[in-house]
Structure 1
């Protein structure tokens, strides 16, 4: 779905991604690579395919939009180095032509050398482009004239169907003061957003992006 914010065209993708066509930039948030392997270390039987499926989805988005840059708006990695991240290291080589930028989130705790070895550029506390300022946690921006786009809370919205069934979907939230991106990883919970009058929420369903 195409959506205009602050005189800039955005593409809201149902696979939990945001594309800025004027800049060739694909943005996602909360990838949480390494989370499934971290849980397995703790004895929780989470299949290794969780991280592999997220990387497969991301690769399909690369094919779809042909971006020059990928921006991860925080929590790219969930914990320390593990088997999931080693799989990513190999996967990354396939897309060496794409610039990877990371706005560090609260879970991004790898050493600088680890990010450099995977050709990931680090930005703290934010990355600003055009009218937007991408920042992971607090919906604030050091440049007051820019519109903050954050992540972190894994936003979701509840939709009531014709038969009064209640379904919850990940969503994009665009408020007056800031926006929130959905978590890209499917291995996350959802924080229910209750939009106020004038705020825009877009649910990400199997059939596409739906304005709520």
Structure 2
């Protein structure tokens, strides 16, 4: 689905990422790579394929859009170096020519040397492009004239069917003052977003993005 925000075209992909065609930027948030390995280390039986599957989805998006740059608005990694991040290092070698920018989030705890070794360009607290200020948490934006696009809260929305059944989906949220991207990782919960008059939300249902 394509929308217009602040005079810019934005493609909302069903794989929980946006593409800015006029800039060649693929933007997503909250990959939480390493989260499953962190849980396994703590004795929680979490499948080892979670991070690998998320990287496969990311490869699919790179093939679909052929972006000049991948921008992650925080929480790319969940914890310290572990086996999941080793998988990412192998994945990164396959996409070594891709510019990769990370706006650091609260879970991005690796050292600057580790990020450099992975070919990741760091920015904190924000990275600005056109009319947008990409950050991890919206209230921290200091660029008053720019429109913040954040992540962090893993937004979701509840839809009610004709038979009164209720289903929750991840969503894109575009409010008056800021936007929030869905968590890219499938290994995350959902936080219900509260809308005000004039706000726009787009539910990510199986196979398509739906305006609600």
Assess same fold via TM > 0.5: yes
- CA drift at 1:196: 1.7
Distance 1:46 1:67 in 2: 32
Deviations 1:105-137, CA, capped at 9 Å, x for gaps: 000010000000000000000000000000101
Distance 2:53 2:94 in 1: 16
State the 4+ residue runs in structure 1 displaced beyond 3 angstroms: none
TM alignment of 1:157-172, pairs within 5 A: 157-172=157-172
Distance 1:156 1:173 in 2: 9
Q: Which residue pairs with 2:5 in the alignment? A: 5
Q: Which residue pairs with 1:63 in the alignment? A: 63
Distance 1:71 1:7 in 2: 20
Distance 1:195 1:165 in 2: 21
Q: Which residue pairs with 1:101 in the alignment? A: 101
Distance 1:54 1:139 in 2: 28
Q: Which residue pairs with 2:79 in the alignment? A: 79
Report the count of equivalent residues: 212
* Alpha-carbon spacing, 1:193–1:180, altered in 2? closer, same or farther (3 Å): same
Distance 1:127 1:207 in 2: 30
| Residues 138 and 149 in structure 2, CA contact (< 8 A), matched pair in contact too | no
- CA drift at 1:97: 1.4
- CA drift at 1:55: 0.1
Distance 1:208 1:34 in 2: 28
Q: Which residue pairs with 2:148 in the alignment? A: 148
Q: Which residue pairs with 2:51 in the alignment? A: 51
Unaligned runs of 5+ in 2: none
- TM-score under structure 1 length normalisation: 0.99
Q: Which residue pairs with 2:115 in the alignment? A: 115
| Residues 76 and 102 in structure 1, CA contact (< 8 A), matched pair in contact too | yes
Counterpart check, 1:36 vs 2:36:
yes
Unaligned runs of 5+ in 1: none
Q: Secondary structure of 2:139's partner?
A: coil
RMSD between aligned residues: 0.7
Distance 1:159 1:111 in 2: 41
- CA drift at 1:207: 2.9
Residue range with higher mean Cα deviation, 30-39 or 189-198: 189-198
Q: Secondary structure of 2:138's partner?
A: coil
| Residues 138 and 148 in structure 2, CA contact (< 8 A), matched pair in contact too | no
Q: Secondary structure of 2:143's partner?
A: coil
